[in-house]
């Protein structure tokens, strides 16, 4: 139980004052070469860990942080991410941060673009980005980099960008596991329906593409024989979906459905309404409607991506980086949780109560 080393201790050991140590720790300059050397020598010998809460207590600086995400829906995936971000702010209440939330329509590239433009006009200290459109995000982050504004990604990463960190699940593995799970619960000869959303601007979300690849690889590696069929579906014209699906399920006799985006409940509800109980489902994201479908037995396995933690750690990492400029771990893949009817309640209750 040896006492923690404090700034004061370092000051004594280096033969300088606490103020000087603080200046060095924060790279505030105005320090002589000799003082710098003496302190750095001590720092190498001892393991100094600043106490972030106390630090924040006396820190006058306020950090302006933008959070840019797709539109948040109640009980949805992005709400969980935002909740996680808010939990960090609560847990580190001593640190003064001014969070600014910007939401864009993830199915409309123009909405995303104008949100990015708006952010660039503000003067922010850092950004948390939930990306959807690859090129737009690359352009945006390039401008952030030019301004020296650090940023982190949540949900997924984007090629050719330089975030200080990203927090996401491995979407490829997610799809791979979905393949495994569906293969466990339907006979090897029955058809599997796949759902994939269509976006304005022609791009399919990066995450879905990766999941599809994972699913396909599992399918091939394990010599699955189930016929694969695409389920037609439109996010922008939802009124057409019911007819599309009626037609589809009339023509196709499926053993199971795999939904590679978070909209599994749409299919599940369709099946429920039409009393089709034989179709097994594997879906992503414990959103409220998905949880309902899981509990009612229309979804058999649901994959969770710990969105609260993505948000929580993204904000926490950003704060620690802003305050101490410590190097941070860049790649952060969160667990993929396999949820069933039996385990879902414990899962959600825990996520609701976990604060800190």
Partner DNA sequence: CTGTTAGCGCATTCAC
Partner DNA sequence: GTGAATGCGCTAACAG
Which residues contact DNA by CB under 7 A?
Answer: 4, 6-8, 15-20, 22-23, 25-26, 28, 30-32, 34-35, 50-51, 54-55, 57-61, 323
Is residue 75 classed as helix, strand or coil in its secondary structure?
coil
Task: Calculate helix-pair angle for 7-14, 18-25, nearest 10 degrees.
Answer: 110
The one of its own copies, DNA, none whose footprint includes residue 203, by CB under 5 to 8 A per kind, is none
Q: Which of residues 51-80 bind its own copies (CB under 8 A)?
A: 51, 53-54, 57
For 50, residues 6+ apart whose C-beta sits below 8 A from its C-beta are: 7, 25, 324
Write down the least CB distance from residue 217 to its own copies, Å.
11
The phi-psi region of residue 19 (left if phi > 0; otherwise alpha if psi is between -120 and 50; otherwise beta) is alpha
Q: Among the residues of the chain, which ranges form H helices?
A: 7-14, 18-25, 33-45, 52-58, 77-91, 109-121, 134-146, 171-185, 206-221, 241-251, 264-273, 288-295, 307-324, 344-353
CA distance 148 to 141: 10
CA distance 241 to 235: 8
Q: 266 or 323, CB closer to DNA?
A: 323
Write down the least CB distance from residue 38 to DNA, Å.
9
The one of DNA, its own copies, none whose footprint includes residue 101, by CB under 5 to 8 A per kind, is none
Q: 90 or 147, CB closer to its own copies?
A: 90
Write down the least CB distance from residue 198 to DNA, Å.
49
The one of its own copies, DNA, none whose footprint includes residue 212, by CB under 5 to 8 A per kind, is none
Out of 141, 170, 196, 241, the only residue in the binding site for its own copies (CB under 8 A) is 170
Q: 52 or 120, CB closer to DNA?
A: 52
Out of 104, 176, 219, 249, the only residue in the binding site for its own copies (CB under 8 A) is 176
Task: Calculate helix-pair angle for 288-295, 264-273, nearest 10 degrees.
Answer: 40
Out of 24, 95, 154, 339, the only residue in the binding site for its own copies (CB under 8 A) is 339
CA distance 168 to 166: 6
- Dihedral sign, Cα of residue 216, residue 217, residue 220, residue 224: negative
Out of 36, 224, 328, 338, the only residue in the binding site for its own copies (CB under 8 A) is 338
CA distance 55 to 326: 14
Q: Which stretch binds its own copies (CB under 8 A): 68-76, 158-166, 282-290, 336-344?
A: 336-344
Is residue 250 classed as helix, strand or coil in its secondary structure?
helix
Beta pairing partners, 151: 127
Q: 52 or 145, CB closer to DNA?
A: 52
Count, residues near its own copies per rule CB under 8 A: 39
- 184 touching its own copies, by CB under 8 A: yes
Q: From residue 70, how far is each of 81, 89, 108, 117, 119 by CA, in Å? A: 11, 20, 10, 15, 14
- 215 touching its own copies, by CB under 8 A: no
Q: Which stretch binds its own copies (CB under 8 A): 136-144, 148-156, 167-175, 229-237?
A: 167-175
Q: 23 or 316, CB closer to DNA?
A: 23
Q: Mind giving me the DSSP string for 165-201?
A: EEEE--HHHHHHHHHHHHHHHS-TTSEEEEE----BT
CA distance 173 to 195: 17
- 189 touching its own copies, by CB under 8 A: no
Write down the least CB distance from residue 300 to its own copies, Å.
9
Q: 225 or 273, CB closer to its own copies?
A: 225
Q: Which of residues 9-48 bind its own copies (CB under 8 A)?
A: none
What are the residues binding its own copies (CB under 8 A)? Answer: 1, 4, 51, 53-54, 57, 91, 93-94, 98, 169-170, 173, 176-177, 180, 184-185, 306, 309, 316, 329, 332-340, 342-343, 346-347, 349-350, 353, 356
């Amino acid at each position: 139980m040896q006492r923690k080393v404090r700034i004061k201790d370092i000051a004594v050991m280096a033969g300088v004052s606490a103020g000087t140590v603080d200046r060095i720790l924060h790279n505030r300059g105005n320090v002589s070469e000799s003082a710098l050397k003496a302190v750095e020598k001590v720092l190498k010998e001892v393991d100094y860990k600043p106490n972030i809460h106390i630090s924040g207590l006396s820190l006058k600086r306020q950090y302006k942080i933008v959070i840019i995400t797709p539109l948040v829906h109640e009980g949805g995936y992005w709400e969980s991410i935002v909740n996680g971000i808010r939990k960090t702010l609560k847990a580190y209440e001593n640190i003064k941060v001014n969070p600014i939330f910007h939401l864009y329509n993830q199915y409309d590239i123009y909405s995303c673009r104008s949100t990015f433009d708006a952010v660039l006009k503000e003067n922010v200290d850092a950004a948390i980005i939930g990306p959807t459109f690859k090129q737009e995000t690359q352009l945006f982050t390039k401008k952030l980099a030019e301004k020296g504004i650090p940023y982190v990604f949540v949900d997924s990463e984007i090629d050719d960008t330089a975030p200080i960190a990203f927090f996401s699940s491995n979407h490829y593995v997610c799809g791979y596991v979905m393949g495994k799970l569906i293969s466990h619960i339907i006979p090897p000869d029955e058809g599997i329906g796949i759902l994939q959303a269509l976006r304005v601007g022609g791009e399919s979300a990066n995450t879905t593409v990766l999941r599809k690849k994972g699913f396909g690889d599992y399918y091939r590696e394990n010599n699955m024989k189930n016929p694969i069929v695409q389920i037609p579906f439109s996010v922008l014209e939802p009124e057409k979906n019911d007819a599309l699906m009626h037609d589809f399920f009339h023509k196709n006799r499926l053993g199971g459905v795999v939904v590679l985006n978070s909209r599994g409940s749409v299919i599940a509800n369709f099946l429920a309404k039409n009393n089709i109980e034989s179709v097994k489902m594997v879906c992503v994201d414990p959103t409220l409607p998905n949880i309902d479908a899981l509990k009612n037995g229309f979804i058999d396995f649901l994959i969770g991506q710990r969105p609260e933690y993505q948000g929580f750690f993204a904000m926490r990492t950003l704060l620690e980086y802003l305050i101490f400029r410590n190097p941070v771990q860049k790649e952060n893949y969160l667990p993929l949780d396999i949820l069933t009817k039996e385990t879902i309640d414990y899962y959600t209750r825990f996520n609701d109560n976990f604060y800190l």
